[in-house]
């Protein structure tokens, strides 16, 4: 095997109560004026931790990072003179932080409240005119991530499951890239499946999910495959919800391996969607989606995912 691999440079702070380190981490990034991206209930706590650092908020982050939303946030960033972005939330909020960093070079501090994993990747997916385009670069990679398990304790169970399977998809697609990433991917897969096989609402399970989501997110440094391309088309062009779409599609991409059935059974056990039909996808749009993906398996996978059959 021949490969080249460069480890991602993001600084990780992990634990419980680590929100209290926000101010110190902002100062470490030489931040003096902060744009806080947040819709989460914990936004007031973050603002309080920042104390006398001038902070303004933007709460309009949206799924699939629409360019028009980024432009509105960019205006506020410039008006405030922000030299640091702090993002509290899921993948949508992280995506917005990345989009701002890509345009301005402003450093990012991310506090995830879901298991999206995008906070540790150099990948940005943006949607404009119904098309989602993905790019990668060092300027997109967040500088610091604070993982606080306490921020995930009240995450609704349906969001917990679909978000965790979204993270699982990152690790699944990264398998066999190189020995280092392969080891991380298998550890992440084991952790997510283990946590979802019991009661994912316990503190121990939340901790395992958050650690595994971090590991799975780092796997995206080796690139994305068919699964992510399918989901980006379904999200960017047809507006389907990001994490739930991953949950529906992933088993059909990796079938017939046993993990496909495991994922499908987990989704059924917790009552989250198992078909594109449940997500609002029209059957007549499947050929259009497959055409955009440009892969010989695309239409078959999408058809099975739309029906929600057991993989």
pLDDT at site 41: 81
Note whether 167 and 138 are same-domain residues.
no
41-84 per-position pLDDT tens digit? 889 999 999 989 999 999 999 999 999 999 999 999 999 999 99
Give bridge partners of residue 145 from the DSSP assignment.
Answer: 12, 110
Q: Cα-Cα-Cα-Cα dihedral of 289, 128, 59, 203, to 10°?
A: 30
DSSP letters along 274-289, please?
A: -STTTTT--GGGHHHH
Note whether 164 and 133 are same-domain residues.
no
CA-to-CA dists, residue 206 to 15, 98, 152, 243, angstroms: 11, 25, 7, 17
**C-beta separation of 307 from 251 below 8 A:** no
Rounded Cα distance between 216 and 225, Å, is 15
Rounded Cα distance between 106 and 82, Å, is 8
Give the pair of three-digit tokens for residue 151.
């921020």
163-179 per-position pLDDT tens digit? 999 999 999 999 988 99
The answer as to whether 6 is a domain residue is: no
The answer as to whether 1 is a domain residue is: no
213-241 per-position pLDDT tens digit? 999 999 887 767 899 999 989 998 999 99
Note whether 162 and 299 are same-domain residues.
yes
**C-beta separation of 117 from 159 below 8 A:** no
**C-beta separation of 77 from 85 below 8 A:** yes
Note whether 183 and 128 are same-domain residues.
no
Q: What would the mean pLDDT of 19-27 be, rounded to a whole number?
A: 97
The answer as to whether 205 is a domain residue is: yes
Domain boundary among 130, 152, 174: 152
Rounded Cα distance between 104 and 25, Å, is 20
Note whether 104 and 167 are same-domain residues.
no
Note whether 69 and 142 are same-domain residues.
yes
The answer as to whether 131 is a domain residue is: yes
Provide the 3-class DSSP secondary structure of residue 268: helix
CA-to-CA dists, residue 193 to 201, 212, 213, angstroms: 14, 10, 11
Note whether 207 and 117 are same-domain residues.
no
Domain boundary among 152, 182, 214: 152
How many CB atoms are located within 10 Å of the residue 205 CB?
Answer: 20
The answer as to whether 4 is a domain residue is: no
Note whether 87 and 196 are same-domain residues.
no
Is residue 136 within a helix (H) or strand (E), and if so which, with residue range? strand 131-136
173-199 per-position pLDDT tens digit? 999 889 999 999 999 999 999 999 999
Rounded Cα distance between 77 and 104, Å, is 10
How many CB atoms are located within 10 Å of the residue 56 CB?
Answer: 15
pLDDT at 12 over 90: yes
Range of the domain at 97: 11-152
Note whether 142 and 227 are same-domain residues.
no
Note whether 166 and 303 are same-domain residues.
yes
Note whether 166 and 144 are same-domain residues.
no
């Amino acid at each position: 095997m021949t490969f080249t691999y460069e480890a991602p440079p993001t600084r990780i702070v992990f634990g419980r109560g680590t929100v209290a380190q926000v101010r110190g981490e902002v100062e470490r990034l030489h931040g003096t004026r902060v744009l806080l991206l947040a819709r989460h209930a914990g936004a007031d706590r973050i603002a309080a931790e920042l104390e006398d650092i001038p902070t303004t908020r933007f709460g309009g982050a949206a799924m699939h990072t629409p360019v028009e939303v980024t432009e509105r946030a960019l205006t506020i960033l410039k008006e405030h003179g922000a030299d640091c972005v702090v993002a509290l939330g899921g993948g949508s909020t992280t995506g917005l932080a990345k989009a701002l960093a890509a345009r301005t070079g402003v450093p990012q501090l991310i506090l995830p409240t879901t298991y999206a994993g995008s906070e540790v990747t150099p990948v940005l997916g943006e949607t404009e005119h119904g098309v989602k385009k993905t790019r990668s670069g060092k300027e997109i990679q967040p500088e610091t991530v604070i993982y606080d398990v306490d921020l995930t304790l009240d995450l609704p169970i349906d969001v917990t499951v679909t978000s965790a399977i979204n993270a699982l998809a990152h690790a699944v697609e990264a398998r066999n890239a190189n020995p280092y990433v392969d080891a991380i991917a298998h550890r992440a897969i084991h952790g997510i499946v283990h946590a979802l096989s019991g009661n994912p609402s316990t503190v121990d399970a939340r901790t395992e999910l958050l650690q595994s989501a971090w590991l799975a997110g780092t796997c995206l440094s080796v690139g994305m495959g068919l699964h992510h391309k399918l989901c980006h088309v379904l999200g960017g062009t047809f507006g389907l919800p990001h994490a739930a779409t991953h949950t529906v599609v992933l088993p059909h991409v990796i079938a017939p391996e046993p993990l496909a059935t495991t994922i499908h059974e987990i989704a059924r056990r917790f009552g989250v969607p198992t078909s594109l039909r449940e997500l609002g996808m029209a059957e007549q749009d499947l050929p259009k989606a497959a055409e955009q993906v440009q892969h010989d398996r695309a239409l078959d996978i999408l058809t099975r995912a739309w029906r929600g059959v057991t993989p």
